[in-house]
Amino acid sequence: MSHVFISHSAKDFDALLELHEALRAESIPDWYVPNDGGSRDLADQSIDDAFAMIILVSASSVRSKSVRKDVERAKARGLKLIPYQIDKARLNGFFKHEVQPHLRYSSTMPDGMDKLVAETKAAYKRKCPVMAVMNLKGGVGKTTVSSQVFGAWQGSLGGRILLIDLDPQYNLTQTFFEMDIADASAAADKSVISLFERSRIHARDASSPAESWLTLSIEPFAPAPRDTLMHDLMGEGSPGGRLDLISGQFEISKYAFATDGGALARIKQHFLQTVERYRSEYDLIVFDTNPNATFLTRCALEAADRVLAPMHADVYSLRGVRLLNQVINEQIEPEKRPDLSILFNAVSRSEQSSFEAEARNGTYDGKAGFALSKVLLKAALPRSGHLQVKAPQEDQPAWKQLVIHSGRGGGLKPIRESLKAIALELKTLVEA
Ligand SMILES: Nc1ncnc2c1ncn2[C@@H]1O[C@H](COP(=O)(O)OP(=O)(O)OP(=O)(O)O)[C@@H](O)[C@H]1O
Ligand SMILES: [Mg+2]
């Protein structure tokens, strides 16, 4: 479960307890370094897992090295800061710069504590957006965008991100892991199939849903905890934070062949409920999807708040997004219908093509059957060798596959800037 991290000086124990009680009364989970001191690693881990950080601002905390480290970590992770001033401390340079811009509540305000708790509760309740990277046309860059754009989002804007490989081809999983690792994971049901059916990661005595294509298990199950289902892509040696993956596997193709509509409806419900549960532990959930309309497409569309469709700047891609928009509007009920954003992928870095310029000024809105020009992201992803799929190297950690972290090299800087610009534009959209 996620929590609010309370950064404080050990000297402010009374204020800490008072705050802890107030949060508890509103059922908001919190975490703070215990009085006997905790390791820096444990604090960092807990900050990475938190949904926000409350900073008790006091004469002693402004001088505390560990509070400063907490705030630096939070800033690097893009964590929401909610400072609360508990005495007349004079802020030093670091606090003036990093904390004061967020400082709105103090214990001298008549209802300072209530407001602090209310803002924390709003942050706790804020629903983590779910985004499906989708296009009914193949090879337009869905998997590249799922890994590189959202990897760059985590690396530059922070937040706890969960990638889910919903494509039976599981290219996203293969981006990060060698084939044998991906397959071993699937063989243990530590994969996407465990979002749909009860499997061996839910109960030792369960049978694997991957074993039989003819039976669908409609038995309910509790969503598996993070350490049994998710792969932590920001593992050893990484810059930190949370980027997790639920790996894919071919056997989820079985749903495309199933004929029992009632069972499929139940299985879709399992998927939707499980994703809903994971929303409380992440700040963003992203699906990489298959390039055709199947049961999995419907599941992704019903769970998603937004569809991000990569497209190439050509007429074939235009058809792909026309179809996609049709599927969204004809197949999904209005209240479940996700918003659509479209991203030009593999564009020339030096000049905008006439196709892109015309698409942006509305020339193709008629052909697309909807206002394409209005949903196009301003940022586009250039064609670049750095974005071409490379097989993961043995002994290389998963996060090294991300362009945002993949070292130095000619031409990397502009690509990273493009990835960050796309992430920032998307973040602004989903938070609007
Ligand atoms: N901006 C880019 N620059 C260079 N190569 C790219 C770019 N985007 C994608 N590619 C390459 O194009 C190919 C297809 O990309 P990708 O696998 O991401 O597409 P996809 O839409 O996920 O495909 P599928 O429909 O099979 O799932 C890959 O080889 C990838 O490396
Ligand atoms: Mg793909």
CA dihedral sign of residues 106, 108, 112, 117 = positive
Kind plus residue range of the DSSP H or E element containing 344: strand 339-347
Collapsed DSSP state (helix, strand, coil) of residue 381: strand
Ranges assigned E (strand) in 95-198:
105-106, 130-133, 160-165
Measured CA to CA, the distance from residue 420 to residue 261 in angstroms comes to: 42
Residue 289 buriedness (CB in 10 A; 0-12 / 13-18 / 19+): buried
Query: Which residue ranges of the chain lie beneath pLDDT 70?
Result: 1, 35-37
- Domains of the chain and any CATH numbers: 4-125 (3.40.50.10140), 130-431 (3.40.50.300)
Look at residue 126 in the predicted model and tell me its pLDDT. 81
Both tokens of residue 382?
Answer: 């250039």
CA 139 to ligand 1 center in whole angstroms: 5
**Of ligand 1's atoms, which has the minimum distance to the CA of residue 137?**
25
Look at residue 7 in the predicted model and tell me its pLDDT. 97
Look at residue 37 in the predicted model and tell me its pLDDT. 65
CA 387 to ligand 1 center in whole angstroms: 8
Residues with CB under 6 A from ligand 1: 138-144, 167, 169, 171, 291, 345-346, 381, 383-384, 387-389
Look at residue 1 in the predicted model and tell me its pLDDT. 58
Both tokens of residue 290?
Answer: 């298959």
Give Cα separations from 408 to 2, 7, 78, 94, 412 (angstroms): 35, 35, 24, 30, 7
Burial code (b: 16+ CB inside 10 Å, e: under 16) for 72-85 equals ebbebbbbbbbbbb
- Of all protein residues, the one whose alpha carbon is nearest to atom 16 of ligand 1 is 141
Look at residue 35 in the predicted model and tell me its pLDDT. 65
The H helix count followed by the E strand count for the chain is 18, 13
Burial code (b: 16+ CB inside 10 Å, e: under 16) for 200-236 equals bbbeeebebbbeeeeebbbeebebbebeebbbebbee
CB 297 within 8 A of CB 134: yes
In degrees to the nearest 10, what's the CA dihedral of 289, 290, 292, 298? -40
- Of all protein residues, the one whose alpha carbon is nearest to atom 31 of ligand 1 is 388
- Of all protein residues, the one whose alpha carbon is nearest to atom 18 of ligand 1 is 141
Look at residue 237 in the predicted model and tell me its pLDDT. 87
Pocket test for ligand 1, best of 388, 390, 412, 416 (most atoms within 8 A of CB): 388
Measured CA angle at 423 (ends 192, 309), to 5 deg:
60
User: Which residues sit opposite 53 in a β-bridge?
Assistant: 5, 81
